[in-house]
Amino acid sequence: MSERVRVRFAPSPTGHLHVGGARTALYNWLFARHHGGTFILRIEDTDVERSTEESVEAILESLRWLGLDWDEEPYRQAGRLSIYQEYAEQLLKVDKAYRCYCTPEELEERRKEALQTGRSPRYDGRCRDGRPEPGKPFALRLRVSDEGVTVVEDLIHGEVGFDHAELDDFIVVRSGGLPTYNFAVVIDDALLQVTHVIRGDDHLSNTPKQIQVYRALNFPLPRFAHIPLILGPDRTRLSKRHGATAVLAYRELGYLPEAMVNYLVRLGWSHGDQEIFSREELVRYFDIARVGNTPAIFDQAKLNWLNAHFLREADPKRLADLLVSFYRQAGIAANEIEAKAGDWSNSGRAGTFGEAVIQTFRERAKTVEELAQASLFLFRVPIDYDGQAVETHLQPAALTHLREICDRLQRVNRFDASPLEKLYRDFVAEKGLKLGDVAQPTRVALTGRSVSPPVFHVMELVGREICLERLGTVLERTVG
């Protein structure tokens, strides 16, 4: 590509960044990085009643979490109002815009009347050639020809035509002086020298209006690419009823950013049959021409599968740091977490307690939160015993064996997986038992379940003190 690519992501700070917006940001970022171009962030905050600084920070934090860095200081539309006013006056001066004195009530009454009589509810142009009415509030409307067709050359959808009979002289500046979206966005994109406008399909209908503004101001047109929407499993637009939609909500649920990025990019784009990409591969392969023109379906199971993959591949130390926050959310006191970590470190074992937990539990988990919940029993917490597991594995004979095992556990020198396994194997060899005859009752006593990671690793992580407490509780028949 001969021209220097400049793209932008332009969210409105009226709430959190949602999945659809995040995918738009990602496609822009990848397009810029692939072509060695510039990724711009612009905050469209002219809606003063709904825009908040809290939302701005949430959007910035979402992009940081996803690893989508921007190349220039973020632009704020609220600080550029004088620029929009300057171009509005320019349109007035060359008679490409005019003052409209119609009140909202008058416009609504005419709209209803048009619908009742089967006419288009478009503006009827009555102020087009009117005289100035000093002192009376007015909006500014762009003159749009009644004839012809505006064709959008879209990189995803191809040529899309819009008949001018369906357009009207739309407002570019409201009566209060604030620019409309379709006016401000054109000026910003032109002055920031944006070469490609990559955004959601819901903006396609705005594009012919924006092209009219580009032409009225003699600005060069950028290339347009409108990404199809993301739908829920029921093929309606993705919303809260389908589950979490805000990007940061996924972070709070224990998803990893690399999984989220990998999933979002595949919601409409593909590179052969490849499912899992590194960040470097995404930058190398991304091509806007390979984005499909049909809506994508959000598949939670696919996201879970991807996250489980990246959970298994991630650095245990990084995951261990994340794990601590989920333990705290689950009610484990900070000093208890620190005590566990300290005991582990003082024992001379390799790595940290958190890393050992990650290595032991992540094969069965889809999220960090799930991993934390699965390993809560490692701390001194109430155990919810599964009735079927108790009935199957904690019969009188098993309890007799556990009582003897407890005596030996109190005397074992190192409470580590290898010596613990040797203790159990020596015991079953001596008694003529199978390993499962004592290992499985131990698992149920410690976890409340009949399924867990390898029981000797679990015992090592639980620690001697809690392990003996739980076995003692079972032996006193306080469960089941």
State how beta strands 158-163 and 149-154 pair.
antiparallel
Helix (H, G, I), strand (E, B), or coil: what is residue 100?
Answer: strand
Exposed / middle / buried, residue 367 (Cβ in 10 Å: 0-12, 13-18, 19+) = buried
Exposed / middle / buried, residue 145 (Cβ in 10 Å: 0-12, 13-18, 19+) = exposed
Helix (H, G, I), strand (E, B), or coil: what is residue 452?
Answer: coil
Amino acid identity for residue 221 in this structure: L
Is residue 240 annotated as part of the catalytic site, yes or no? yes
What's the CA gap between 231 and 156, in Å, rounded?
18
Backbone phi, psi, residue 150, to 5°: -100, 125
CB atoms under 10 Å from CB of 83, counted, come to 15
What's the CA gap between 412 and 466, in Å, rounded?
15
Instruction: Give yes or no for a contact between 450 and 443, defined as CB atoms under 8 angstroms apart.
Output: yes
Could you give the angle at the alpha carbon of 52 between the alpha carbons of 51 and 53, nearest 5°? Answer: 135
Place of tokens 């032996």: 475
Could you give the angle at the alpha carbon of 107 between the alpha carbons of 102 and 108, nearest 5°? Answer: 150
What's the CA gap between 151 and 161, in Å, rounded?
4
Instruction: Give yes or no for a contact between 399 and 474, defined as CB atoms under 8 angstroms apart.
Output: yes
Backbone phi, psi, residue 142, to 5°: -85, 135
What's the CA gap between 324 and 85, in Å, rounded?
52
Q: Of the residues 136, 240, 422, 434, which is catalytic?
A: 240
Q: Which residues pair with 334 in a beta bridge?
A: none
**What is residue 254's DSSP assignment?**
T
Amino acid identity for residue 307 in this structure: N
Q: What is the DSSP string of 306-353?
A: HHHHHHHHS-HHHHHHHHHHHHHHTT--HHHHHHHHHHHHHTT-SS-H
Instruction: Give yes or no for a contact between 360 and 425, defined as CB atoms under 8 angstroms apart.
Output: no
Active site residues: 240
